[in-house]
Structure 1
Amino acid sequence: MANHFTHIGLLQHGAVEAGDVFCGELETPLSKAGWKQLKQAFGKAGADWDAVITSPRMQCAAFAEWFAQKHDLPLVRDERLREIHFGEWEGHTPQAVMSTDTEKLAEWWVNPAQVTPAGGESFGDFRARVLDAWTELARAYRGERVLVVTHAGVIRVIMAHVLQMSDERLLALNVEYGALTRLRVLRDRGGEWASLIAHGC
């Protein structure tokens, strides 16, 4: 009997050298702590996966490349899995942004879908490209188990889509460094059905 399920693991990259800053387009390597987080959790888990998909950003791609090579898994880089571009907030801590762009940051915390930092990417464009990648994953890897190394914003958008959450609740989804979210997608004649298996494990 054919396996119509696709198992997808969404892995948030580890801690980065830039620290706790807005980090969308910013290229920053994983810190020593970030590498340790990921290797301890996933270093021996190669048998759990059939393929690795990664955001091209350094903080994701470096571990994805290491993991794929270690376990002889195919690796694909997907530009659609980049974090949202934070514009003028890039590279700054929330505390620093609060001192220069207080009102807009406060509005962003309430509903990030309604606020675009100056020079940044709109939430609508971000969500469209992420969900385009998500839809393709379920179709291209039917019957397989795929590890996706990506960013907190990407994971939140996919989870909110699967759980049918409203945009203003997006930041209620906590995504820790090195945390894994597991989802399962069934495709049959009736359509596509996604469910959340585990979050934050």
Structure 2
Amino acid sequence: MANNFTHIGLLQHGAVEAGDVFCGELETPLSKLGWKQLKQAFGRSGADWDAVITSPRMQCAAFAEWFSQKYDLPLVRDERLREIHFGEWEGCTPQEVMTTHPEQLAEWWVNPAQASPPGGEGFGEFRARVLDAWMDLGRAYRGERVLVVTHAGVIRVILAHVLQMSDERLLALNIEYGALTRLRVLRDRSGEWVSLLAHGCG
């Protein structure tokens, strides 16, 4: 019987040199701490995976390239796995945005699906591209184990979709640097079934 299960690991990149800022389109390298977080968690687990998929952003792709080369795994960069574009908030800390756009930031915290940063990407567009990538993973890698190196917002959108959460509750999902979310996807004649196996593990 064919293996219809796809095991998908969603890995949040590590801490970055830019610090705790809104970082969507911003290219920023991993900090020393970020590299340490990822290598400690995944530097010895290459046998657990068959392929690596990554956001093209530096903070994701650098580790994905290192990991795929170390364990001789195929690597694919997928533009759809980019973080949402934060517009005028890019590169700013939440404290800085609270000074310049207090009402908009408050609205975004309450419901990020309804309040986009000025000049940023609309949530509907972001959600659509992320879920398009998610659907392709289950189809293209059936029977395989895939590590996806991406961003907190991307992971939140996928989890909300899988758990049938309302979009306004996205920020209730805590996504730590270097943490892994494991999902199992079953595709059969009756459709697609997804189980959350673990969240926030190293």
Q: 2 CA distance for matches of 1:13 and 1:91? A: 17
Name the SS of the counterpart of 1:20 in structure 2: coil
Query: Structure 1: which amino acid aligns with 2:34?
Result: G
Residue 139 of structure 1, CA deviation: 0.1
**2:114 aligns to what?**
114
Task: Check if 1:133 corresponds to 2:133.
Answer: yes
Number of paired residues? 201
Query: Structure 1: which amino acid aligns with 2:85?
Result: H
Name the SS of the counterpart of 2:65 in structure 1: helix
**1:104 aligns to what?**
104
Map Cα deviations across residues 107-152 of structure 1 (whole Å, 9 max, x no partner): 0000000011111000000000000000000000000000000000
Name the SS of the counterpart of 2:131 in structure 1: helix
Map Cα deviations across residues 88-111 of structure 1 (whole Å, 9 max, x no partner): 000000000000100000000000
The unaligned stretches of length 5 or more in structure 1 are: none
Q: 1 CA distance for matches of 2:179 and 2:187? A: 26
- Structure 1 runs of 4+ off > 6 angstroms? none
Q: When the two structures are superposed, what TM-score results if normalisation uses the length of structure 1? A: 1.00
Residue 195 of structure 1, CA deviation: 1.3
**2:79 aligns to what?**
79
Name the SS of the counterpart of 2:159 in structure 1: helix
Map Cα deviations across residues 40-77 of structure 1 (whole Å, 9 max, x no partner): 11001000000000000000000000000000000000
**1:20 aligns to what?**
20
Task: Check if 1:58 corresponds to 2:54.
Answer: no
Query: Structure 2: which amino acid aligns with 1:166?
Result: S
**1:188 aligns to what?**
188
Query: Structure 1: which amino acid aligns with 2:160?
Result: A
Name the SS of the counterpart of 1:193 in structure 2: strand
Query: Structure 1: which amino acid aligns with 2:167?
Result: D
Name the SS of the counterpart of 2:113 in structure 1: helix
The unaligned stretches of length 5 or more in structure 2 are: none
Counting aligned pairs with the same residue, the percent is: 88
**1:67 aligns to what?**
67
Q: When the two structures are superposed, what TM-score results if normalisation uses the length of structure 2? A: 0.99
**1:163 aligns to what?**
163
Residue 168 of structure 1, CA deviation: 1.1
Map Cα deviations across residues 21-56 of structure 1 (whole Å, 9 max, x no partner): 000000000000000000011001000000000000
